[in-house]
Chain A
Amino acid sequence: MSAWLITGVRPYGEAAVDLLIRDGVIVEVGRDVTAPGAERIDGDGLVALPGLVDLHTHLREPGREDAETVQTGARAAALGGFTGVHAMANTDPVADTAGVVEQVWRLGQDSCLVDVAPVGAVTVGLGGTRLAELGAMADSAARVRVFSDDGFCVTDPALMRRALEYVKAFGGVIAQHAEEPRLTAGAQMHEGVRSAQLGLVGWPAAAEEAVIARDVLLAGHVGSRLHVCHVSTAGSVELLRWAKAKGIDVTAEVTPHHLLLTDDLAATYDPVYKVNPPLRTASDVRALRDGLADGTIDAVATDHAPHSVEDKECEWGAARPGMLGLQQALSVVIATMVETGLLDWRAVADRCSTRPARIGGLVRDGHGGELLAGTPANVVLIDPADRAIVDPAGLASRSRNTPYAGMELPGRVVATFLRGRPTVLDGKAQA
């Protein structure tokens, strides 16, 4: 395996150093490092962070390879600075058996671009009635640790309690898509001033908050870990803050789009802005940013949700919910959290790498480590000064449903290293 010397780079945006990577490991961090034979990268002006980890992607394979494959999703991930991603279980067939999660895991290995950690379904077929064989998925080659019915909520409180308890045996965590379905029947967007005006059925904040409130109480009662997917409301942040103060073992994620965009965009009736949970109000956005800044929200997770053209080029009500996120996630975090002074680069590393790696159990594969000599070389190099206009046609995903089209966003991923091997160099994917 070759060696790479990155000169004059600023780890965590701090003092410039040279960073030497050899045989998959960061071997030296310091000034005037000499490494004969190593390939050199001029790191002047670049920030180095540990490779990003995404707790929430939809790679669509198996089943909807017209929208995304593990390979195209992995390329988008690498270009976005990720070295590890979790692939949600709502594929076709559903990832509710050892066989399916192993298939997805192998496809990830074959991509050579990113570690794909399959998420297992909590219930058979995402049906919400019967536990899937969680232990079999945990014991499989994919070593599943995160279980989620994402797209659907585990609404049955007794089943949720059992799931929370059961996965303790193998250090698993239930990642809940918090949505009380009786309150969101037919829902199209956030319920509020905008939905009233647009005549679209509302998705009330309380439908998310009610489930989070119930689940933190359950997790506290049985002493289990709970992870909350895509937190979208100010009230949810309050509940999580309360639960953490009580000592309940709960973690939470927020998506880039909920950090930046609001329900005002629904006024275009362009379904590229339709997503579940829906875009909320400006005050929710503020609360989410504050929650991420103070650590109430642990992680940024993309909820990257590719959809084919025909699933988006239609009436709002007929469109499928979801938006792309992998390639713009870091840029949105820089725009909403770094440039606003809410997070420094160390905290970005914490929320986008360290904590998600811990929550998802990927520390075992060397993700989320510190940029120090001796740690596995999962590294991303970022040019924070670069600004570019998002062009959907230029994205690596097989789909085009980015809500950021035409927006100018800061930050460019220059290079990504996965265990010492470049998956992105000079902004280009290496597979």
Chain B
Amino acid sequence: MSRRSEGTNEFGRHLLSVADLDRQQATLVLDTAAQIEAALAGREVKKLPTLRGRTVVNLFFEDSTRTRISFELAAKRLSADVINFSAKGSSVSKGESLKDTALTLEAMGADAVVVRHSMSGAPHRLAQWVRGSVINAGDGTHEHPTQALLDAYTMRSRLGRLEGLRVTIVGDVLHSRVARSNVLLLSTLGADVTLVAPPTLLPVGVETWPVEVGFDLDASLPKADVVMMLRVQRERMAASYFPSPREYSRRYGLDATRMAMLADDAIVMHPGPMNRGMEIAAEVADSVRSTIVEQVRNGLSVRMAVLYLLLGGSEVSS
């Protein structure tokens, strides 16, 4: 596959939001990820030469070992040079501004900057100050585009389709960038999304989203092909989003009893890291329905596909 032969699927320079992707482009990412996976299957040296000589910077202002490692490995498997630039806490508290950091990366000649930041919109700001591609690896409570892409990839490989798939997303939608990106991407790809959460954890304005909204998990489970459990932070209790972890778990947690209400081939997803016993019971997380480990594995192929498509490397099969 080459980019040139896919003229109608031209990628933009950045991946800031999954709203940047139309259906064709999103499908191209998933197809490319599948091709990459196939190309590497059975190889002893799991490496492609496509991004040789390119520099990818992982700019992480927020701790996220799994996402950073996933991007790092993805870039390395495409033979790019990888720099990990970890600035714990906000750039402001460190004294250096995001703009100065951007100018530093620019001077180093970064071809792509993978950015994780605690503030919504930080990647959008960064994109105005660097020439390279900016990939949003999670910004505040806004979006996490590659997570949604790997989730879609996982659904498609497990269930064979996305069109018409009934996906129920459960939990802290208000603070979840995973939920925002999934809602946008899944509706772009033709899935039917239902959000289930306590009303305190749904944003004002959710009524304009292309989703069904419900408060009753038990009612939505039998109809679901996919149940995606969101991480719920215990600290939310202090701000009265719910009375206690126990009550949350009783009303919105997925345990074995609830899992039994699912259709035979329905799957259970979680973006990690999990709070076992809170939003998801251990026996659910470890069941055959659970795709949690698969999601991590697929994340690698999907991030390789995104880097490849944005940076326009040489052909996958070369």
Contacts and interface: CB of A to CB of B under 8 A. Distances in A.
Contact of A199 (B98, B99, B143, B208): B143
B314 interface: no
A316 B120 contact: yes
Interface stretch (B160-168, B199-207, B222-230, B290-298): B199-207
A110 interface: no
Given A316-B120, A316-B121, A317-B140, A195 B97 contact: no
Interface in A186-232: 188, 191-202, 204
Question: Chain B contact residues (Cβ within 8 angstroms of A): what range?
Answer: 20 to 34
Interface in A139-182: none
B131 interface: no
B175 to A, nearest CB: 8
A212 B90 CA distance: 35
Contact of A314 (B97, B140, B141, B143): B97
Contact of B204 (A199, A204, A310): A204
B92 A194 contact: no
A194 B204 CA distance: 9
Contacts of B97: 310, 313-314
Contacts of A314: 91-92, 97-99, 125
Contacts of A270: 125
Contacts of A192: 204-205
B204 A269 contact: no
Contact of B208 (A193, A200, A313, A318): A193
Nearest to B174: A196
Nearest to A201: B141
A200 B143 CA distance: 11
Given A195-B204, A198-B120, A268-B124, A313 B209 contact: no
A199 B142 contact: yes
A315 interface: yes
A315 B119 contact: yes
Given A199-B143, A314-B125, A193 B92 contact: no
A187 to B, nearest CB: 12
Interface in B71-101: 90-92, 97-99
B122 interface: yes
A196 to B, nearest CB: 3
Contacts, number: 80
A192 B98 CA distance: 28
B270 interface: no
Nearest to B97: A314
A144 B159 CA distance: 72
Contacts of A194: 205
Question: Chain A contact residues (Cβ within 8 angstroms of B): what range?
Answer: 20 to 34
B87 to A, nearest CB: 12
Contacts of B140: 199-200, 317
Contacts of A193: 205, 208
B279 interface: no
B142 A196 contact: no
Contacts of A318: 90-92, 98, 119
Nearest to A199: B142
Name which of B139, B143, B177, B203 has the most chain A CB atoms within 10 A of its CB. B203
Contact of A269 (B120, B203, B209): B120
Contact of A196 (B139, B177, B209): B209
A41 to B, nearest CB: 44
Name which of B121, B122, B124, B206 has the most chain A CB atoms within 10 A of its CB. B121
B98 A315 contact: yes
Interface of A: 188, 191-202, 204, 268-270, 310, 313-318
Given A197-B205, A199-B177, 11 more contacts: A198-B142, A199-B141, A199-B143, A202-B203, A310-B97, A315-B92, A315-B98, A316-B125, A317-B120, A317-B122, A318-B98
